[in-house]
A and B are shown apart, each in its own frame.
Chain A
Amino acid sequence: MNQNTPQRRRERIDRGIKVRCQGIYSLMSWREMTYITAPRAALIAGLLALPLVMPGMYWQRVISIVCIYALLAVGFDFLAHFVGLVSLGGAFFVGVGGYLAAILNTAWALPPIATIPAATVIGATLCTLLLLPCLPLRGVYFAIVTLMYPLFLARVIEALDILGGTDGIMGIDGFGGRWTEQYAVIGMLLIVLFAVRRLVNTDIGLVLRGVKDNDQAIRASGMNVTRYKALAVFITAAMGCMSGAFLVHIYMWSGISQFALDFSILPIAATVIGGGGTLAGPVIGCLILVPVSELLRDFGTLRIVFYALILVAFIVFRSEGIMVYAQRKYHQFERWTQV
């Protein structure tokens, strides 16, 4: 450029403490230990404290629902950003897991502590088997199939009048106390969140990210792509089925509304708002979206209008997502430099 008009640009620099925290020596300083653990501790403490600060039963119930959606959203984020499969199957997983837990509970009188793990494993296996045919393909097939199954299953239950038909299955055991219910869901969410975070950094996670980037290269390396995809779908389905099982025990009722598209769409919106590929972002997205949609109930039919406006505004003005933005601000600072 012409030398007499100096130009400036904003540059982003990693904070000194972030760089210092990258080595093992960060364990030797309290400041750096705090820097590493503070965000995680804040999330854990925040979630654990939520039931205590909520004003009443109603809002405590909302927190449980937030966690259910958060489980689904973490699953969606995992599948979309680490495996490259866009899943619209939240409703499918919730429905399968929910009905399984309901059947196990009413037919064999198993307590929730047994039905939830059983529904998780059996449901995830079922979902994976049903989705297996479309796994070798790339593209929209997976999204479409996962979208079709819940519609299909709901209509089957309605038309054949099985599993309680349109009335659903009633008389399911609850958790026997709202505190147990709250902390069971929150604890599960935290475990799942940190487990998935771990998983994506292991060797399997590496392969899965490779599948997202270039599945032909993974095939050429001698790995069975479909098997890895099935594994990822199993993990996601397990999370979804578990949230479904929790849901029926919270509501003490299982019905075809568990196949409602809300369970597919809201996790995606939460991932967009929270920041895709961060795993913690979708949880934060759910913490915002679910209460907002409850608050908007006062507006009646206009609820959806406001809800949509908030979503669109987010995508226009902060499309990167809250978590990506926050991470950047936490790790980096900006300053003007002379070019």
Chain B
Amino acid sequence: MEVASTEGGKRRRGMKLWSFHGGIHPPGHKRESTTRPVESAPLPKELVLPMLQHLGAPADPVVKVGDRVLKGETIARPGNFISAPIHASSSGTVVAIEERPVPHPSGLSAPCIVIETDGKEEWHPSREPADHRDLEPAEIRDRVRQAGIVGLGGAGFPSFVKLNPGKTVKTLILNGAECEPYITCDDALMRERPEQVIKGAMVIRRAVQAQHCIIAVEDNKPAAIDTLTQTLRSEGVTDMEVVAVPARYPAGGEKQLIKVLTGKEVPSGGLPIQLGIVCHNVATAAAVFRAVELGEPLISRIVTVSGSAVGGPRNLEALLGTPVPDLLRHCDTDFEGLGELIMGGPMMGVALAHHQVPLIKTGNCLLAVSRSEIEQRPVVRPCIRCGNCAEACPVNLLPQQLYWHAQSKNLDKIQEFDLFDCIECGCCAYVCPSNLPLVHYYRFAKSEIRAQQEKKRKADIARERHQKRLERLEREKAERAARRARKQPVTDESKKAAIQAALERTKAAKKESSPDEV
């Protein structure tokens, strides 16, 4: 398939593109939030920064209650290798380090640092601008790690890990596909700050030493494609390419995008680096640019606020830790008619149990769905075995089989049907004529399996510890017996000897003492 990409109105021969299995064309709903430019959200009175805003281990606080912190100051350090530090999004005072509700489907609370802002927005002096061309790849990675950058597309994997591929990278792909309905934060970024995306791409490219670099954008965002191509030309960048990929959900899925661009499939359970490919989101690239060249850590992000309960949908540049209700209020949300608040898009996002949660690094979209829209949701009916789901699945799985096995909790069987290759994109549930919540079944089965594996791991440790304890008790018993055995023969003979010796001593003493008395 030959697809031409536009370049300043002039059409040129584009690169060859492939296609992935399945996929859907849901209504985009992107226009609502793209009518106005990105706005800065007002500074909130209180910032709530969860210690876990990424995949991996939670961060460990390095500040105390009562400390004054400055904007960009590190307030928590990575808890592990796969982890990320947390920075103060604005200047103020730490008023609490406690459990607060976090944006998570469970509605549970998790440790957070709470900062009362002072309105001064005073920057920490650690900001140190640099030119990425003067930095070694290792120095770039270190700066990205210190800046707490994680994948901003939604998964939140610490980015510095992906900057250290340990293998030759042929292609660097910047993912600007943004295929999910309603979400337009990457679109807004590419249109309004194309130079940050491109410079970020150059920095990442230097870090991974990639030969080739592609910025992939779905062709339903012509303005973003034009702006990026023009910026490339005006900056004189010739070794980077903007590619328009056909709009089809989920073209922005990492493995699907790689298939479209290269025709190669990432193996089951594998990583793109096995094909010599590294993939980063465009917003991550812009954050990398700000971290490396300007020395600014990740303290804010663009978030789309949209949905049927939002009066003025738009993109907001908001500080991390800003309470979500503040953002919703800023966009004229009808709180009375609010039925469901989703973090992420309508396909892959998760419904939040609490509204009083903060914005976190992975929060690309806040979708406020009105109660009337929820009431219109169709009734769930039994599966009629039509097979539409299998046709729609972009990973070529058998969603219906997965559904049956998840329903009957047949956890061994469901893994034989490659449950863990499911990307939870929701195509199967979208096409399901019975409106089954299929993704919910897969998430349920996945978390059950993970819990079982964890249980097994702990049981193995307990078995080993018990075994070691039994061995230790056995050994101690044997040692005690040996000690007794060593003593026993000695006592028998030495007893008599000792008595004899004592008798002789008393006799001698008597002999010595008696002459004096007499």
> Are A and B co-members of a single complex?
no
A residues whose Cβ falls under 8 Å from a Cβ of B: none
B residues whose Cβ falls under 8 Å from a Cβ of A: none
